Amino acid sequence: MQRMVHHAESMAEILGVSVNPGKVVGNDCMKHTLKQYFGYETFRPLQEEIIGRVMDGKDCVVLMPTGGGKSLCFQLPAIMSDGIALAISPLISLMKDQVDALQANGIAADFINSTVPPDEARHILRRAQSGELKILYIAPERLPVPGFEDFLRTLCISLIAIDEAHCISEWGHDFRPDYRNLQSLREKFPRIPIIALTATATEKVRADIVKQLDLNEPRVFISSFNRPNLSYSAIPKKDSLQTIRALLGKHKGESAIIYCFSRNDTEKIAAQLAQYGFKTATYHAGLTADVRRHNQERFIRDEIDIMVATIAFGMGIDKPDVRLVIHHSLPKSIEGYYQETGRAGRDGLPAECVLLFSYADTFKQKFFIDQIEDVAEQKNVREKLDEVLRYGNLSTCRRRFLLRYFNEGYDATACGNCDICKPALKAVVIEGVPGAHTRQSSQRASRGAPSAEPLDYDMALFEALRHLRTQEATALQVPPYVVFGDKTLREMATYFPQSDAALLQITGVGERKCAQFGKKFLDVIRRYAQQHHIKEKVRPSGTALTASPMPAKPIYTGSTYDGTKRMLMQKISIEEIAKRRGLTLGTIVAHIETIIAADPQTDISHLHPPQDRFDTIAATFAKTGGTALAPVRHILGDGYSYDELRLVRVFMNLR
């Protein structure tokens, strides 16, 4: 606790704010950091309270549905705390996606799991020890590896985050024996706060999580299961291919998932849709691991629009812009249905969840239920299927049914976003897809189901920005949403920002992304606005980050950066600093990047590369039109190291 309070004081000095006695950092500081790194101006429900508790050094359990913002609850305090946060997750694909997104936001993060080669893993561990990383993701099976616990003891760990925490409980729906490796964390690291996070956990499972992890007087945070941006519909399963085509036509060019009962169904439907020109792929247990991984990657990177899959698909998918989830067959349970539909609209934008309902599908389910030998288990599974049938036959609000199933009250008489409360939703599916909404001044659209805050955005500009996003993502080899999410692009296509200050007002645009991508996106917006005689609009309640009374500087604290800065002030070379500190050249260059970003007045003139090499590198950066290192290295070749390129980039930013 003393370490956390000391950090708060140094943080306050950097940001120019006072620290409240009862809290490690003030709310203003938290909100500034939220905007600076993640581009958001406000927290989602419960996030602020959870982050405050973690910053106070206390344990907590977080139950928050998919898309509710669980990850931010440990990522933000990790950034604001001294040391490194340890994030434990069983989902390998999700680790990479989250690290890509963090790095795109200017946050030093990395991961170690079975896909990382030994040499690269050792390099990552060295970066963690040097203080270069703020967040390190690991899989639970990494903990018992010989020597790994000793390595952890060499780190200054700020917090431990355990994602998918229900996996530690035998009462959970996805128990994993490897999670029992986590039971000793409290004993080995008694003073480090632990935050356990899950999207689905009954009261019994929550109690078991607390017991198994030996949490110290934890506070349990339970978020609402309500997803207002999702519309729910159940329609008769007649001519299902035609219905699916109509739904996909309504969401042309957008991401969709179609869940099927069997492998044969997935292959059949995917083949039929491909004949009509839809870009599809399949995912089921009958495919090899490499094919599944390849298809999943294509879906995440928007190379295909539609994934036709069994329920094996979805765990660890961090794709926020899925606009449609169709259940071609009956789900096995309401829990499963909620989890699968929850993969739609994670960005908070409107999305549709459609169940093609048929009693005939119950015969397939009941056949397998009859094979269950345990009588109690068979009864339990049968009751869960009966609840699904109740859902399909409802004549009252579907949202109310789902929320009450999870013991959450819902007092509204009508949700206005299900086919019962708004029959027009069902009519749209059955009667066909309406034409695009157009206006006299530029084509505009508010696609998808109704939402609380629809944006009347310019579709032509939105598509141009999507195209640019795809180009940038391809160059960086990351999913498009890592560059900017759909919500961010829609706001750009609504308010037409013309400057960095205006761009920083857009949701999802933080300092790092503004610096890295701002020029190219602003060029597209300015050109389009000029061609169509459109003026910039002020975003309601938005405040430019640069207008904040607090300096917009990356946050760094701790002796590892201070030690490097002291040597820089003594005009010591990078090579000598690395030698004296026992660190790599790359680590010292990374320190310099962070130090200069926080204090551009720091004198590093003695480190300026030879002018001829500097000019060559700078000209190549200009040629590539960005600040990414890989394209420059590709052009210049092995004669120029990444460390040299990074150092030149530092000096270019000082101009």
**Chain centre distance of CA 245:** 29
The single residue listed with the structure tokens 């539909």 is: 341
Contact call for residues 616 and 636 (beta carbons, < 8 A): yes
Dump the DSSP string for 614-646.
Answer: HHHHHHHHHHHTS--HHHHHHHH-TTS-HHHHH
pTM: 0.71
pLDDT at 542: 47
pLDDT at 435: 37
CA angle 303, 307, 310 (to 5 degrees): 150
The single residue listed with the structure tokens 């190379």 is: 303
Tokens coding 468: 């640019």
For residue 21, pLDDT over 50 is answered with no
Distances 60 to 153, 165, 449 between C-alpha atoms, Å:
23, 12, 35
pLDDT at 560: 63
Task: Quick: pLDDT tens for 577-636.
Answer: 988 887 777 778 878 877 887 677 888 999 999 999 999 999 998 887 766 666 788 889
Task: Quick: pLDDT tens for 253-285.
Answer: 899 999 999 999 999 999 999 999 999 999 998
**Chain centre distance of CA 54:** 20
pLDDT at 559: 47
Mean pLDDT for the stretch of residues 58-77: 91
Task: Quick: pLDDT tens for 141-159.
Answer: 999 999 998 999 999 999 9
**Confidence at 172, pLDDT banded by 50, 70, 90:** low
Residue 249, number of CB atoms within 10 A of its CB: 12
DSSP summary character for residue 131: T
pLDDT at 5: 32
For residue 505, pLDDT over 80 is answered with yes
Mean pLDDT for the stretch of residues 452-458: 69
Q: What is the dihedral of CA 397, 401, 402, 408, to 10 degrees?
A: 110
Mean pLDDT for the stretch of residues 213-241: 93
Contact call for residues 320 and 252 (beta carbons, < 8 A): no
For residue 23, pLDDT over 70 is answered with no
CA distance 177 to 141: 9
For residue 314, pLDDT over 70 is answered with no
Mean pLDDT for the stretch of residues 21-38: 72
pLDDT at 109: 93
For residue 80, pLDDT over 60 is answered with yes
321 or 476: which leads in pLDDT: 321
Q: What are the structural domains, with CATH classification, of the chain?
A: 43-222 (3.40.50.300), 230-431 (3.40.50.300), 444-547 (1.10.150.80), 559-653 (1.10.10.1390)
Tokens coding 444: 């505009």
pLDDT at 627: 67
Distances 542 to 34, 281, 458, 502, 503 between C-alpha atoms, Å:
14, 40, 20, 9, 10
Mean pLDDT of the chain: 84
